[in-house]
Chains A and B, each alone.
Chain A
């Protein structure tokens, strides 16, 4: 039983994620991608006569089912089968977080950064609101995210996806090393 609650090692999680590619293709010739659902939801909620949001979103609604599933999967993995033990981070990460005044890691997210009260602080605003905005803006501009470019595009050996994935990582490495420390010190 304990096995159900344990986190999955990378050599289990990685191949299953990779198998999503052929499963979606075989089920319905669908290409794995998640960031397109943000466009879908914008088109549903507030198209505001913007040409980019005026399209037959219902035709592509399969991906809304996919992400509804991801939400449920998150609930199963994070709530029903959540790991009772602290996340097994490297010592370097743990000591860095301590240095930044964060308590010992528990759960999947540092709840002292990601909570409702924190939203009213500059730190929380930058992490969640500004960060989220850049995720939505950037992925649509790049026409894909870690799923569409990083997994699907790379699996199909598309070189523009390699450029995109390299930029995702370059941007992340730059911000995580040079900007995030400033935000955490706020």
Chain B
């Protein structure tokens, strides 16, 4: 039950993605054609807010609820960041969904996107299967 709090964070996150129209195929199309500021506005406010919060957390050496020292993530570079990143971008342009919105698109009633979702799971599975044969 200690995980139930993440359900509530998820609800707010999903509601925001949906009401902010970040799960909209139309908005993603518009973003990739530079025809609207909307999606860029979301990124350009979300990242500074996240960065500033992280800065404050580290400055004040805040701990998590269970007393753990909060360590910011370290993302190591590997070539998959480029190759995988591009492939994901291709898919994002077609589906109008990154993984978060995949869930929210289903929830918002576009039930056919369950197929998009299952296909994304298949993509992850195939990556897992051939991971060793792919350049890292």
B residues near A175, Cβ cutoff 8 Å: 32, 89-90, 93-94
A residues near B75, Cβ cutoff 8 Å: 143-144, 149, 153, 156, 158, 160-161, 164
How many interface residues does A have (CB within 8 Å)?
130
B residues near A139, Cβ cutoff 8 Å: 84, 88, 98-99, 120, 124
B39 to chain A, nearest CB (A): 7
- A84 CB-CB contact with B under 8 Å: no
Which B residues between 55 and 92 are near A, CB-CB below 8 angstroms?
Answer: 56-57, 62, 64-66, 68-78, 80-92
When the two chains form their complex, are residues A79 and B109 in contact, meaning their CB atoms are under 8 A apart? yes
A residues near B70, Cβ cutoff 8 Å: 25-26, 29
B residues near A176, Cβ cutoff 8 Å: 28-29, 32-33, 93
Which A residues between 83 and 114 are near B, CB-CB below 8 angstroms?
Answer: 87, 89-90, 92-93, 96-97, 105, 107-111, 113-114
When the two chains form their complex, are residues A69 and B10 in contact, meaning their CB atoms are under 8 A apart? yes
A3 to chain B, nearest CB (A): 11
Identify which of B76, B87, B125 contacts A134 (C-beta below 8 A).
Answer: B87
Given contacts A19-B53, A26-B57, A62-B3, contact A10 B13 (CB under 8 A): no
> With A and B bound together, what is the CA distance between A15 and B124 in angstroms?
30
When the two chains form their complex, are residues B46 and A14 in contact, meaning their CB atoms are under 8 A apart? yes
Which B residues between 15 and 65 are near A, CB-CB below 8 angstroms?
Answer: 15-33, 35-51, 53-54, 56-57, 62, 64-65
A residues near B120, Cβ cutoff 8 Å: 38, 132-133, 135-136, 139
Given contacts A10-B42, A114-B110, A128-B113, contact A63 B124 (CB under 8 A): no
When the two chains form their complex, are residues A17 and B89 in contact, meaning their CB atoms are under 8 A apart? no
Can you list the 10 inter-chain pairs with the closest CB atoms, starting with the nearest?
Answer: A69-B10, A171-B89, A78-B108, A73-B14, A13-B20, A141-B84, A74-B107, A136-B123, A18-B49, A167-B85
Task: Enumerate chain A interface residues (CB-CB to B < 8 A).
Answer: 7-31, 34-35, 37-39, 41-42, 45-46, 48, 50, 52-53, 61-63, 65-79, 81-82, 87, 89-90, 92-93, 96-97, 105, 107-111, 113-116, 118-119, 126-147, 149-161, 163-177, 179-180, 183
